[in-house]
Structure 1
Amino acid sequence: MHKEEYEVSVMGGPHSSGPQTRTVINMPSEISVPDHVVWSLFNTLFMNFCCLGFIAFAYSIKSRDRKMVGDITGAQAFASTAKCLNIWALIFNILLTIGSIVVFIIFSAVIFQAISQKMKNHEGF
C-alpha cells in the first residue's frame, strides 16, 4: 500500500455532521446470447436444403437485432429457433451427402459390371 492510503485508513474518513447519501447504480450484466449467424451463413452458402439455412440466417439476424436493442428474451427466442433450424439443416445435409455417396458407389459398380460384361462378350467373338 502507498503511504497516502495507509494514512487515510489510520486517520479515518472525513467527519461531517451532515447525513451521508449513497448512490447505487445497477448495471445490467452482459448476458451472452449466441445468435448463430456464422453457422447459419455456412448452412446458407453450402448446405441450403429446402432453404433451411436461409431461414435460420434470417432468424439469426433477428436475434442479433433484438440483442442490440436490449430485448434479451426476444433474442433468446430467435436464437433458439435459428439453432433448431441449423441442426435440422445439418442433419438433412449429412443424410443427403451419405445418400449421394451410396448412390455414386452403386452407380459406379453397375457401370463397372456392365463394362466388364461387355468386354467378356467381345472376347468370345
Structure 2
Amino acid sequence: MYKEEHEVGVLGVPQNPAPVMSTMIQIPTETSVPDHIVWSLFNTLFLNVCCLGFVAFAYSVKSRDRKMVGDVLGAQSHAATAKCLNVCALVLGILGTIGVIVLLVFLYPMANHITSEFMKKNRGY
C-alpha cells in the first residue's frame, strides 16, 4: 500500500456530502480616463484659434474634476469634448500657419516687385 492510499483509508470518506460553496469578490478596477489637459494647455498657449484651445482647456479641467469626484461617465464625456476641440484647434492652427507661410513666400516677392515698379514710375514725374 502506498502512503497516500493508507492516509485515505485512515481518514475515510468526507462526513459532509454538501457541495463546497465559494465566494467571489470583485474589486472594481479604476478606469483610466485621459483628460487631455497638457494638449489643451499647448493649444491654449500656441494654437488658440477662435478660443478653441481655451474652451478645450476648460473641458479638460471639468473632466479632471469629474474624475476626482468619481463620476467616470461625466469625465469621459468632458474628455471626449476636450479631445474634439483640441483636434479642431490643432487642425485650424496648422492650416493657418501653412497659410501664413504660403502668403509670405508668394505674396511678399510679388508685393515687393509691384512696389518697386510703382516707385520707378513715380520718380519719372
Equivalent AA in structure 2 for residue 40 of structure 1 = S
- Whose radius of gyration is greater, 1 or 2? 2
User: What residue in structure 1 maps to residue 95 of structure 2?
Assistant: 95
Shift, 1:87, TM fit: 0.3
After the TM superposition, list the runs of 4 or more consecutive aligned residues in structure 1 that deviate by more than 6 angstroms: 118-121
Moved more, 61-70 or 108-117: 108-117
Shift, 1:111, TM fit: 3.4
How many residues align? The count is: 104
- C-alpha separation between the residues in 2 aligned to 1:90 and 1:102? 18
Equivalent AA in structure 2 for residue 62 of structure 1 = K
Shift, 1:117, TM fit: 4.4
* Pairing of 1:33-48 with structure 2 (within 5 A): 33-48=33-48
- C-alpha separation between the residues in 2 aligned to 1:27 and 1:61? 28
User: What residue in structure 2 maps to residue 105 of structure 1?
Assistant: 105
- C-alpha separation between the residues in 1 aligned to 2:69 and 2:117? 69
* Unaligned residue ranges in structure 1 (runs of 5+): 1-21
* Unaligned residue ranges in structure 2 (runs of 5+): 1-21
Equivalent AA in structure 1 for residue 92 of structure 2 = F
> Against the structure 1 CA distance between its residues 68 and 23, is the aligned structure 2 distance closer, same or farther, given a 3 Å change threshold?
farther
- C-alpha separation between the residues in 2 aligned to 1:115 and 1:51? 36
SS at match of 1:31: coil
Shift, 1:70, TM fit: 0.8
User: What residue in structure 2 maps to residue 82 of structure 1?
Assistant: 82
TM-score by length of 2: 0.70
TM-score by length of 1: 0.70
SS at match of 1:34: coil
Shift, 1:23, TM fit: 7.4
- C-alpha separation between the residues in 2 aligned to 1:112 and 1:99? 19
Equivalent AA in structure 1 for residue 77 of structure 2 = A
- C-alpha separation between the residues in 1 aligned to 2:29 and 2:103? 53
User: What residue in structure 2 maps to residue 49 of structure 1?
Assistant: 49
- C-alpha separation between the residues in 1 aligned to 2:85 and 2:107? 32
